[in-house]
Structure formats: structure tokens, C-alpha cells
A = this chain, B = another copy of it.
């Protein structure tokens, strides 16, 4: 068990009736606020008007940056950061899902960077001198960006999708109202639910290091919550209990608690592979994870990896404990596929998304990063990644 530091300073307003505190929370950081949002769904559900009313009531000066893409582009981030610099903006308010919040985090850092390209910060070519404070109003249970220290930015010119991390990128305040996710489509609800599970899988549950037992149990508590409530949210999109459980699960899956000192102890395998898919084909992150994850588990299944995979099956997916080890682990993977592709209804193959194998070799190499391999629950080389991608076709 490794030593670790736990610190999560995000203040979360969770529930239906908290938005009246938005003005005071934003205002504590300054007078000029940049409102960042995506494709306009927040206008359709009336959230934009409610947010603007609160900001106006607090007498704040509001600038706007709409149009953040689902896999947010570095050019959009640069546009927002330039606006922050030009107008002397003091605080960023992200209203949306993980992409909007991720883009806002990158803007917050780039606004305090001497250069003008956020990609410098992603690649480590440059470093920011601090960051603007960040407040969020979440509209999608998925990425955990509302309480975590990272964001993922896409460079469409380079076909690259890379994370940007830093303790200062944790939102100062986040407003989580499950009602704001009622209008999330079945497809995005399913994809988001997979993303939540994948954070736990990828960072810790399917890993090669010893985790504190309590944290493994809490991971299973959160995983089983998602497995229970994702189908309920699909069947009844305005089920408050389901939406609330998914929303809070999303935050805790990646806010630091579940991993003790192991947050960066191994590469997040499926995320690394999926980021290549999104970078090349701009697909929905959670859907990509749903396609990759069971194939990855199938590929790495061995006597060595089977105990944890079977444990997952028994404790989360209702697999019979009495099954022999390898059979039980295999049944766990079957059950996960059934959950993703039948219960949650996500198309199961990359070919369903019009993706063929032509870029697999390049993607596999890129997924392995500068070290040329991914050393997680098992050691994977580019040829292994390529095989896993082929299993996804």
C-alpha cells in the first residue's frame, strides 16, 4: 500500500434547489465571468436562462463562449483563453458536461499562460502561472470533471486527444442538480454510465498493484450503483433517484478518494486506447470505452488476471461464486458485454460506427505513448493494442 495525500477542495451543491447560490459563489472570485457552454442544449432545457438570471441578479458582467465541442478542440480553448486575457475575466463558469468543464479548465490555465496555445500546456512545452477560478453547473453524469483535477483536449490538426492535469484545475465550486440530466438522451446516458465505470476499472479496479481493501469495497459500491441505476435512467429519464445516484457516482469515481496514492500508478489502458478512437474518429468517449473494455478484458484474461475479473463478476454482475476461476471470469466479461450492448443498448462494434482497421497500427502505437507500451494489469505492446482493436471490429 502506497503513501498518499488526499485533498479535494471542491465545494459541491447537490440537489434541486441550490441555484440561488450561484451568484454569490461566482462573485467571490470576481466581477467578470466567462460563461462557457456547448451546443445549446442548456438553452433547450431552460438552464441558460436560469443561470443568466442568477448572474444578473448578482450584478456580474457576463461574457460568453458557446460552442464547445463534445471532444473539445484546442482551438476553442485558445479562443476562450484569449477572451479572458483581452477582457480581464476573473472567473470561468462552465455550464455543461465533461467536455465543457474540461475546456473551461484548459482555458483557466491558458488564461494565465504567457503563450496563447493551450496545446503547449498539454504537451509540457509551457507552464501556466496559476489559473482562473472555476465554477461548474453539471448537466451530464460521466466524466467526473466536476470534482477532479484533469481535462482532456483534442487537437484535430494532429489527430491527438491528450489530458491536462494539475491540482489547480479542480473546480472551486460545482452545482450538481440531477434534474439537469433528465433530458440527456438514452445514448449519452448509457455512454456516460460506461465512462463512470471505466474510471474505476481503468485507474484502480483492474490494476496490478495492491489497493487498500476498503477502497476496493467502495469502488464496488459505486460500480454496483451504476449497474443498478443506468438501466432505470434509460427506462425513466426523469427518475430523480436514478439520476442522482449516477451523478454522484460520476463525481466520486474520479475525485481522488477511490484510488489512494495510485491515481497515476499505471496507465489507464482503455482510456488510452479510446482516446485514439476519439482523436481519429471523434466518437463519443463512453461509447468507445464500452466497445474496448470487454475486448481488453477478454484479451488479458489469464490465470493471473482472472481472480479480480471473477470477483467483479461475483460482486457486481451476479455471477455464481461457485464457478471455476476462468469460467467465472469469462462469465463476468459476458455479463459486462450484455450490460453495455443489450441492457444499455450501445452498438457493440467499431464497424457499427463506420470504423475500419486502416488506422489501427498508428493508433496502437500512439496509445502506447512515449514508453512504447502500456504497463497495467498486464504489459501491452502496440501489437497487443492492435489485436484488441481488431477484436472490436
Contacts and interface: CB of A to CB of B under 8 A. Distances in A.
Size bin of chain A's contact surface:
35 or more
29 contacts: A1-B15, A3-B14, A3-B15, A3-B16, A3-B17, A4-B15, A5-B12, A6-B11, A7-B10, A7-B11, A8-B8, A9-B9, A14-B260, A15-B261, A212-B241, A212-B244, A212-B245, A213-B241, A214-B222, A214-B248, A214-B249, A215-B248, A217-B221, A217-B222, A217-B225, A218-B218, A221-B221, A252-B257, A257-B257
A75 interface: no
A167 to B, nearest CB: 11
A81 B288 CA distance: 59
A155 B11 CA distance: 35
B240 A213 contact: no
Give this chain's copy count. 2
A93 to B, nearest CB: 18
A243 to B, nearest CB: 10
A18 interface: yes
Nearest to A229: B213
Contacts of A241: 1, 212-213
A358 interface: no
A366 interface: no
A5 B11 contact: yes
Nearest to A251: B6
A9 B241 CA distance: 27
A44 interface: no
Interface in A255-305: 257, 260-261
A63 interface: no
A248 B211 CA distance: 13
Q: Which of A2, A13, A14 has the most CB of B within 10 A?
A: A14
Contacts of A240: 1
Contacts of A214: 221-222, 225, 245, 248-249, 252
A220 interface: yes
Given A8-B8, A218-B218, A245 B15 contact: no
A248 B212 contact: yes
Given A1-B244, A2-B15, A252-B257, 9 more contacts: A3-B14, A7-B11, A7-B12, A213-B225, A213-B229, A214-B248, A217-B224, A217-B225, A218-B222
A228 interface: yes
Contacts of A212: 241, 244-245, 248
Q: Which of A6, A10, A212, A215 has the most CB of B within 10 A?
A: A6
A171 to B, nearest CB: 12
Contacts of A14: 3-6, 260-261
A213 B18 contact: no
A359 to B, nearest CB: 39
Nearest to A17: B3
A252 B212 CA distance: 14
A1 B239 CA distance: 12
Nearest to A214: B225
A247 B2 CA distance: 14
Nearest to A3: B15
A23 to B, nearest CB: 16
A386 B5 CA distance: 45
A316 to B, nearest CB: 11
B6 A18 contact: no
Interface string A7-50: 11111111111100000000000000000000000000000000
A239 B18 CA distance: 45
A213 B1 contact: no
